Chains A and B, each alone.
Chain A
């Protein structure tokens, strides 16, 4: 149980376009979802926290107008990178916590974004 999926797993886009990444909890209801960013050979950096039905809370230094987060249901959160630029190229990982055992975050497999 407690499986989190991400789609797509890899995406390549042109500079200036927008890209949407989906994060789904497959077998549990995710009250809270987290979005992380990871640069090559680096650790995970929390970008934002989203709760179902409310606005996301962004970490300091993360542009909320550039990284749009929507958590419309208890099983789906989306991250949209708007007007992507090469410096946005990174590995984006989501995680989710459920109604029970909220101390445990279940991580998705990640999405590799490459902006040309």
Chain B
């Protein structure tokens, strides 16, 4: 069983459209990170959220951490083909150094 479930698993959209990816769990996390990974490469950190209800923006990407610190979302505005990739959320539980990765969302943005 996956501790962090992401939805949707796969998303194919047209350039310019908006999208939201969800990362859900029944467990509480002390912090949550979002990564983007391209084929054949390691994941690249996009953002870290630590406070319940926190919202962070990175250009066209908006990240939100749920009030209860059990879920998170990533919203992309006006998606571009360069946004194509595998998006992974990863959480850290209190007093643990381990990262627990979500199931992943594969995004394809068509020109």
The docked-state distance in angstroms from the alpha carbon of A107 to that of B35 is 11
Distance in angstroms from B48 CB to nearest chain A CB is: 8
The CB with the most chain B CB atoms within 10 A, among A41, A43, A45, A107, is that of A43
The CB with the most chain B CB atoms within 10 A, among A36, A44, A45, A46, is that of A44
Which chain B residue lies CB-closest to A105? Answer: B99
Give B80-100 as 1s and 0s: 1 = Cβ < 8 Å from A's Cβ atoms: 000000001010100001111
Name A1-37 residues within 8 Å CB distance of B: 4, 6, 32, 34, 36
Contact status A32-B101, CB under 8 Å: no
| Total B residues in contact with A, Cβ cutoff 8 Å | 22
Interface assignment of B103: CB less than 8 Å from any CB of chain A: yes
Contact status B101-A49, CB under 8 Å: no
**Across chains A and B, which 9 residue pairs bring their CB atoms closest together, nearest first?**
A107-B42, A43-B104, A44-B101, A43-B101, A109-B42, A110-B42, A93-B42, A108-B42, A107-B43
B interface residues, Cβ below 8 angstroms from A: 2, 31, 35, 40-45, 48, 88, 90, 92, 97-104, 106
